[in-house]
Amino acid sequence: MGGGFARRDPFTVAAQAVPAAHDASPALNGEAILVRVSHYWPPLGQPNCGEFINQVCVSRMASGEPWEDWVDKAIACPLEWEFGTRLVIAGREWVCMDHGGAIAIQDGIAWVDMLTPVALYDYGTIVEAVRLSE
């Protein structure tokens, strides 16, 4: 697993060091970008889960990891992003561990689909994120 991009993307807002949300954490070193967010929850079945058997999602994420181990930590990201790419959204670190058919870069802004039981934002909201350096 590698992290991040080797080149600048069209949806880059600015390259900058972003201060931590509170004094207990070290400063976040990364690049501020815009992302369009949604969320998915595999226990709901299709389209949130590829293989839903007897009311249980038995699919793994595209990275091969079990989704259950990555709740509130994983995002589905565009195919152009490597697994392991790390973003901070809403003060929380998320890791690209999945891909999905609708997860793409649209109008220069990447969709990211958060693996969480409850949406943090309304579907399609554009928010600022920090793509962390390796």
Residues 63-97: pLDDT tens digits? 999 999 999 999 999 999 999 999 999 999 999 99
Nearest to 40 by CA among 24, 57, 55, 21: 57
The pTM of the full predicted model, rounded to 2 decimals, is 0.77
What is the distance between the alpha carbons of residues 134 and 126, in angstroms, rounded to a whole number? 24
Q: What is the DSSP letter of 21?
A: S
Residues 37-70: pLDDT tens digits? 999 999 999 899 989 999 999 999 999 999 999 9
Give SS3 for 91: coil
Domains and CATH numbers, the chain: 12-41+73-132 (2.40.40)
